[in-house]
Amino acid sequence: PRSISRLLSCPGTIAASVGNEEQSSVVAEAGIEDKTLQKKFSEVQKERREQAQRTVLIHCPNNINEKKFLKYLSQHGPVNNHFFYESFGLFAVVEFCQKDSIKSLQNGTHTPTQSTEAAIPFKSRFLNLRLKNPSSQVSGQPFVQTTNQSPPSSKKLFELLIYAESIEEQLNTLLKAFQLTEENIRLRHLTCSLIEDIAAAYFPSCVIRPFGSSVNTFGKLGCDLDMFLDLDETGKLDVHKNTGNFFMEFQVKNVPSERIATQKILSVIGECLDNFGPGCVGVQKILNARCPLVRFSHQGSGFQCDLTANNSIALKSSELLYIYGSLDSRVRALVFSVRCWARAHSLTSSIPGAWITNFSLTVMVIFFLQRRSPPILPTLDSLKSIADAEDRCILEGNNCTFIQDVNKIQPSGNTETLELLIKEFFEYFGNFAFNKNSINIRQGREQNKPDSSPLYIQNPFQTSLNISKNVSQNQLQKFVELARDSAWILEQEDTNQPFSSSRQPWGLAALLLPPGSGHTSLSRKKKKKPMSEKVKGLLASIKSNSPDSSTDTSGK
Ligand code: CTP
Ligand code: MG
């Protein structure tokens, strides 16, 4: 209701009920409250981008008075939405109703002058609010209510899980605790928009688009922010002015390959971010990777950012995951739990290497749900077969067509519970013939592996690529063993009884316990990994962390 009034007060803006914990991020992303009217991915992205362009990020003094702050800002036009959060200081995200307000605000903003250092006068939308009388500045707790941008601690998570009433409720609780909040989604789009302003210094009509878990409905609080620089002009050309016998081309510089062009562009943008990007620190140019990227931290938003160029296939695969995540409420609940489980057992890592990735795990869950009877998720080929003419999409010669409107997809008749599904997931992959079969969500069935990679998961759009090419036999073996262990734990009657053993970890909580602590399963008792295994794993990761193999498929 609050969101509706906001919507009415500011025409053309997204209705979003900030702070409503009950609302799933799918719905929040879609910006609507009625699930039967899901927006298309491209519409959501367009609205979020436009919203971000009317937004500023302000570092505030801790003792700020919210009312006075808003009054001060409204001099420049009505404020549609705002929230505060803490991250090495107090920050405010302020969304105006109109873009013009930002110009007005910037016109009254000073470039700081310091006696010892010199400022690079780059005028961005990342601002610092100062009190005229600094002596009244106090440190300590902020005076305003702040929103949370980080995931719960494992202690908090265990508490939440232990007090749930069923495994089903545990999975949904975990989802709610980890999913991106409305505020966090806004902050992600705002960060991309701020980076876009910097890249626009070179390429005025460029777009920085977020992709990956920030937008595919599978993002966990604290996950990295993947973005790419889109310089593609196709679709923006004014065809009406292109009649007659001629057409015009820009004079350009040529380089030997697309890859070199990408490297050159990312190189100068990396320099830009490093030299005058407010808040951009630790800029690393990783240009020799298969998919060249610039990695940096954005202070203020606190995001670890990966910037690539022309990565439209990865954006399309984010859209596909968005469709799968929006189709059935069980999908996200299952994926979040599997991802947390993998993280808890160090199957995934923030360091690139021979580990399985969250992206691969998500595709494995989708595949598993396609294999249920009746299927919970449709195959990619069937999403392609019901596509309309407007859905047609060919990228770099790959057919990436599938239906974009979730509302046109028939819901599944399968009514299996999350408790059954998680157990069956571990059974299924604990016994999967990884040595001979590959995972393929396009057809929704196993196929013979085309090469000897330990884990072969076909890239849904670049079908000759394996998205888990980096995974070593050791890591796959570890995954299989843990999956078997977990299936075994879930089969034990007593661990699945919420109230049986005086608030001992049960159900999902028992699965998330790190090896060696508390709960002991059969195989864990008999095979506690010797230290050398860990060392081996690290060495393997360092080896495969050479620039050329760390990001070996199109992702980054
Ligand atoms: N991607 C890909 N092929 C890969 C790796 C990644 O196509 N081998 C694409 C996927 O669209 C993926 C995106 O790049 O979603 C971002 O990759 P990554 O950050 O590794 O995965 P996320 O899905 O963002 O998950 P995480 O939360 O771990 O960042
Ligand atoms: Mg990511």
Please write the tens of the pLDDT for every residue from 266-288: 999 999 999 999 999 999 999 99
320 CB-contact burial (10 Å; exposed 0-12 / middle 13-18 / buried 19+): buried
- Using the predicted structure, report yes or no on whether residue 89 has a pLDDT greater than 70: yes
Which residues, 6 or more positions from 283, have their beta carbon under 8 angstroms from its beta carbon?
270, 273, 274, 277, 294, 295, 296
Beta-carbon-side half-sphere exposure of residue 459 (alpha carbons within 13 Å): 20
Ligand 1 atom with minimal separation from the 467 CA: 8
Given a contact cutoff of 8 angstroms between Cβ atoms, the answer to whether 487 and 475 are in contact is: no
User: Which residues, listed in sequence order, are joined to residue 210 by a DSSP beta bridge?
Assistant: 227
Instruction: Please give the average per-residue pLDDT across 104-120, as a whole number.
Output: 89
Q: What pLDDT is recorded for position 240?
A: 65
Instruction: Quote the CA–CA distance of 556 and 540 in Å, as a whole number.
Output: 20
What number does the ligand 1 atom closest to the CA of 223 have?
Answer: 27
Ligand with minimal distance to 222 CA? 1
Nearest protein Cα to ligand 1, atom 9:
555
User: What pLDDT band is residue 234 in, cutting at 50, 70 and 90?
Assistant: low
Please state at what angle helix 258-276 crosses helix 182-199, rounded to 10 degrees: 100
Give the DSSP H/E element, type plus range, for residue 210. Answer: strand 207-211
Would you give the end-to-end CA distance of the chain in angstroms? 40
Cβ pair 429, 441 in contact under 8 A: no
Q: Residues 530-547: what's their mean pLDDT?
A: 52
How far does residue 46's CA lie from ligand 2's centre (Å)?
Answer: 20
pTM of the shown model:
0.88
Ligand 1: which atom is nearest the Cα of residue 462? 7
- Return the ligand number nearest the Cα of 359: 1
Give the Å distance between the CA of 83 and the centre of ligand 2.
24
Query: Which tokens in the block code for residue 457?
Result: 């998961």
Radius of gyration of the chain (CA): 25
Query: In the structure, what pLDDT confidence band is assigned to residue 549 with cuts at 50, 70 and 90?
Result: very low
Q: What is the bridge-based pairing of β-strands 225-230 and 303-309?
A: parallel
Q: How many CA atoms lie within 13 A of 437 on its CB side?
A: 14
Determine the 3-state secondary structure of 59 from DSSP: strand
> What is the per-residue pLDDT across 283-311, written as a single tens digit (0 to 9) for each?
999 999 989 999 999 999 999 999 999 88
Tell which one of 188, 223, 226 to mutate to probe ligand 1, the residue whose CB is within 8 A of the most ligand atoms: 226
Report the candidate in 185, 196, 232 with the shortest Cα–Cα distance to residue 45: 185
Residue 21's pLDDT is what? Answer: 39
Give the helix ranges, DSSP H, for 410-457. Answer: 418-430
**Sheet (strand 280-286) strand order:** 207-211, 225-230, 303-309, 293-298, 280-286
**Nearest CA residue ID for atom 3, ligand 1:** 555
Q: Is the pLDDT confidence value at 550 over 70?
A: no
Residue nearest to atom 11 of ligand 1 (CA): 314
Lowest mean pLDDT among 249-263, 457-471, 513-527: 513-527
Q: What is the pLDDT at residue 235?
A: 54
Specify the amino acid at residue 133.
N
Give the confidence band of 532 by pLDDT, cuts at 50, 70, 90: low
| 137 and 61 Cβ atoms separated by less than 8 Å | yes
> Half-sphere exposure of 146 toward its Cβ, with a 13 Å CA cutoff?
17
Which of 193-202, 324-333, 491-500, 523-532 shows the lowest mean pLDDT across its residues?
523-532
pLDDT at 492 over 60: yes
Q: Where are the alpha helices (DSSP H) in 31-166?
A: 41-53, 66-73, 100-107, 154-162
Contacts made by residues 196-199, CB under 8 angstroms, sequence distance 24+: 197/124, 197/125, 198/122, 198/124, 198/269, 198/272, 198/273, 198/276, 198/277, 198/280, 199/229, 199/269, 199/272
Crossing angle of helices 329-344 and 473-491, rounded to 10°: 110
**Which residues' Cβ are closer than 6 Å to ligand 1?**
211-213, 216, 219, 223-224, 226, 314, 317-318, 357-359, 467, 553-556
347 alpha carbon – ligand 1 mean position (Å): 16
- Angle at CA of residue 412, ends 409 and 416, nearest 5°: 155
- Cα 519 to Cα 511: distance, rounded to the nearest angstrom: 9
pLDDT in tens, 52-61: 999 999 999 9
Among 105-109, 138-142, 149-153, 550-554, the range scoring the smallest mean pLDDT is 550-554
User: Which tens digit of pLDDT belongs to each residue from 217-228?
Assistant: 999 999 999 999
pLDDT at 258: 93
Residue that wins the pLDDT comparison between 352 and 461: 461
- pLDDT bucket at 554, cuts 50 / 70 / 90: very low
Determine which of 106-110, 389-393, 447-451, 498-502 has the lowest per-residue pLDDT on average: 498-502
- Contact indicator for 314, 228 with CB cutoff of 8 Å: yes
pLDDT at 206: 94
Q: At what angle do helices 312-327 and 329-344 cross, to 10 degrees?
A: 110
Cα–ligand 2 centroid distance for 357 (angstroms): 10
- In the reported structure, the alpha carbon of residue 552 is separated from the centroid of ligand 2 by a whole-number distance in angstroms of 15
- At 114, the pLDDT band (50, 70, 90 cuts) reads confident
Nearest ligand for residue 358 CA: 1
Report CA(362)–ligand 1 centroid distance (Å). Answer: 10
Using CA positions, which residue lies closest to atom 21 of ligand 1?
359
Q: Can you tell me which atom of ligand 1 is nearest the CA of 213?
A: 24
The DSSP element (H or E) to which 405 belongs, if any, is none
The ligand with the least distance to the CA atom of 348 is 1
Instruction: Taking residues 465-487, report their average pLDDT.
Output: 97
Mean pLDDT of all residues in 435-461: 97
CB burial string 389-399: b at 16+ within 10 A, e below: eebebebeebe
Report d(CA 435, CA 432) in Å as an integer: 9
Centre of ligand 1 from the C-alpha of residue 237, in Å = 30
Q: Can you give the pLDDT at residue 43?
A: 97
Cβ neighbours for 235, distance < 8 A, ≥ 6 positions apart: none
DSSP H or E run through 91: strand 90-96
**Residue 198 clears pLDDT 60, i.e. is over it:** yes
Kindly identify the ligand whose nearest atom is closest to the C-alpha of 308: 1
For ligand 1, atom 14: residue with the closest CA: 555
Q: Rounded mean pLDDT of the chain?
A: 86
Residue 88 Cα to ligand 2 midpoint, Å, equals 23
